[in-house]
Amino acid sequence: MGIIACTADLFPEHIERLKAAGHEVRLSKRAGNESLAPILADADALICLLTDRIESEALSHAPRLEIVANVAVGYENIDLAAAEERGILVTNTPDVLTESTADHTFALLLAAARRIAEADVAVRNAEFPSWGLQQPLIGIDVHGKTLGIVGLGRIGAAVARRGHHGFGMSVLYYSRSPKPDLETELGAVQVPFEELLKQSDFVCVHVPLTSDTKHMFNAAAFAWMKPTAILVNVARGAIIDEAALVNALEERAIAGAGLDVFEQEPAVPPGLLELREHVVLAPHLGSATEETRRAMAGIAIGNVLAVLDGKPPLTPVP
């Protein structure tokens, strides 16, 4: 029976399931960048969060570790090469969060276009504008517009379906490989990155953060976008050069942004905080629903139980 180190705030039923299988669960609340080494010394498994950095140094203090189960679909917080070198399996939580994250993406897209955050503040501040054809808080239509998806994977496809079936949007996509099924289902058209930015009214980012995608949205990219376009990022903050984004919004090179993720979370650049028109900010809530967070924890512990039982993991990272 194994020792499971856990930085994730697991639900009671998940802890019970691990204990019922005969394992010892050691919950560990860590402050900031506190070293993981002490909790890994005799651990057979680690269940961790995307805010934990699982580096080579920490793994070198984990002689018994068999699996790192990340409670997230993204896994750029884990040094995969170091894990592989030590024969440690790495798992993530794909699929169960796809629809919730796509809902959240569309919520940010609609909120930025229709200025919902600004409207909420106005009503609460008793600044209810008088109804008029050219009144304050006029927004941008979403239905019938062109939706550009950068990274047409699980979440990108779920957002594209919402746009196409729900809002009659035309779908363009930029992705590593063609998606013929989605082209048939949604009439989606694969285009080069520059073309997508030039033609899209709404650009949604769904690529993982890798050395190829870091800062793919830079000053040049913003210059290609329409001045009426809105950028939505529910992937990872560092895919966007935040300084260039603040500049593009200030200079009105683009019209707005819906952002769930930031380069240095939890820090948000002051320049971004000052921008309000067509700008909506959320604190990394893509998968944050009661049902989805439980499902993510369920997949993570399923991976640990399988591996500690000598079976293959359910969802190894690709």
Kindly list the catalytic residues. Answer: 236, 265, 284
Determine if 287 is a binding residue for ligand GLV (CB under 6 A).
yes
Nearer to ligand GLV, 72 or 182 (CB): 72
- Give the HSE-up count for residue 302: Cα atoms under 13 Å, Cβ half-sphere: 12
Q: Give the residue closest to ligand GLV by C-beta.
A: 74
Instruction: Please classify residue 29 by burial: count the beta carbons closer than 10 Å to its beta carbon, then call 0-12 exposed, 13-18 middle and 19+ buried.
Output: exposed
Quick check: 298 binds ligand GLV (CB under 6 A)?
no
Q: Which of 148, 163, 286, 302 binds ligand GLV (CB under 6 A)?
A: 286
Burial class of 126 by CB neighbour count within 10 A (0 to 12, 13 to 18, 19+): exposed
Closest contact distance (angstroms) between CB of 262 and ligand GLV is 12
Compute the least distance from the CB of residue 157 to ligand NAP, in Å: 8
The helix, strand and coil proportions of the chain, stated in percent and rounded to the nearest 5, come to 35, 15, 45
The tokens describing 118, both together, are 């600004």
In the complex, least distance from residue 226 CB atom to ligand GLV, rounded to whole angstroms = 28
Q: Site for ligand GLV (CB under 6 A): how many residues?
A: 7
Q: Name the segment binding ligand GLV (CB under 6 A); options: 58-66, 72-80, 144-152, 183-191.
A: 72-80
306 binds, among ligand NAP, ligand GLV, none (CB under 5 to 8 A by kind): none
CB 20 within 8 A of CB 60: no
The phi-psi region of residue 230 (left if phi > 0; otherwise alpha if psi is between -120 and 50; otherwise beta) is beta
Q: Which of residues 222-281 bind ligand NAP (CB under 6 A)?
A: 234-236, 260-261
- Closest distance of CB 97 from ligand GLV, Å: 6
Q: Which is nearer to ligand NAP, 62 or 101 (CB)?
A: 101
Q: How many whole angstroms separate alpha carbon 12 and alpha carbon 209?
A: 32
Task: Among 43, 54, 72, 172, indicate the residue that binds ligand GLV (CB under 6 A).
Answer: 72
Helices (H), the chain: 12-20, 37-40, 56-59, 80-85, 98-114, 116-124, 154-161, 167, 180-186, 193-199, 219-224, 242-250, 270-274, 290-308
Q: Which residue has the tokens 């080069």?
A: 192
Residue with Cβ nearer ligand GLV (278 or 293): 293
Binding ligand NAP (rule: CB under 6 A), the pick from 177, 192, 310, 312 is: 177
Structure tokens at 188: 């989606």
Whichever of 39 and 110 has its CB closer to ligand NAP, that residue is 110
Residue among 74, 237, 256, 298 that touches ligand GLV (CB under 6 A): 74
Using the rule CB under 6 A, give the single segment among 56-64, 209-217, 243-251, 270-278 that binds ligand NAP: 209-217
CB 202, CB 148: distance < 8 Å? yes
Q: Tell me how many residues contact ligand NAP (CB under 6 A).
A: 30
CB burial of 78-101 (b: ≥16 within 10 Å; e: otherwise) equals bbeebbeeeebbbbbbbebbbbbb
Residue 176 lies near ligand NAP (rule: CB under 6 A): yes
List residues near ligand GLV by CB under 6 A: 50, 72-74, 97, 286-287
